[in-house]
Structure formats: structure tokens, C-alpha cells
Amino acid sequence: MPKLKLRKWDSAEHLKTEEDMALNLEACFQEAGDDALFIAKALGNITRAKGMSQLSRDTGLGRESLYKALSGEGNPSFATILKVTTALGIKLHAQSMHTAIT
């Protein structure tokens, strides 16, 4: 019997459109609770899908800084998060937690 080759799941490979990226981030917000690193990692995956070099140019931040900040182990500033979401074309918005989603 041939050996089965497995590889790690990489969500960045499946984020093809801006809508895919926005929906993925929305799902991560719902899943994360108060885990900021989970959101940073989700943004890192979206950034890799879009292209780290392009995002580096669009944000004015270094590629290495972006990789570190959005690794899920970094601690990106809110300014970095805003630059990244703007460059990705993703709009953050607020909603009351008590508002029913319809």
C-alpha cells in the first residue's frame, strides 16, 4: 500500500476573492471571542493570500514586520491592523452584541 502524504491545511490557499477574504475574517471574528491573536493570525492568512509583498508596499510596513505582527504570535498595534485592513479593502464596522443577526 502506498504511503499517504499529508500536508498542513493553509487557509490562504483557499482565499481567492476579496469576498472570500472578508467572509473568512467575519467568521474568525465570530469564532475568536476575545482572542486577539486569533484575529491577527486570520489577517496574516488573508495577507498571504493577497500577497505579502504587495501589502507591504500598500501599507508602508516591512514584509518581515508584517509576517511577525500577523503570525498569531506577534502583537500588532491597532494602527497596523487598520493599515492592513484598509490595504486589503476590508472595512471594519461595529455592531451591538445585543442586536440580533437576521
Residue 37 in domain: yes
Q: Which of 20, 18, 19, 43 shows the shortest CA–CA distance to 32?
A: 43
Asked whether 47 and 54 are in contact (CB, 8 A), the reply is no
Q: In whole angstroms, what is the distance from residue 49 CA to residue 77 CA?
A: 21
Asked if the structure places residue 20 within a domain, the reply is yes
C-alpha cell at 59: 501599507
Instruction: Please indicate, yes or no, if residue 24 is contained in any of the structural domains.
Output: yes
Q: Which residue has the cell 490557499?
A: 13
83 falls within a domain: yes
pTM of structure: 0.80
Range of the domain at 72: 16-88
Q: Is there a domain that residue 82 lies in?
A: yes
Cα–Cα distance list, 48 to 22, 45, 66, 77 (Å): 14, 5, 10, 19
Q: What is the pLDDT of residues 82-93, one digit of tens each?
A: 999 999 989 888
Q: Is residue 28 part of a domain?
A: yes
The number of distinct structural domains making up the chain is 1
Task: Encode pLDDT of 27-77 as tens digits.
Answer: 999 999 889 999 999 999 999 998 999 999 999 999 999 999 998 888 899
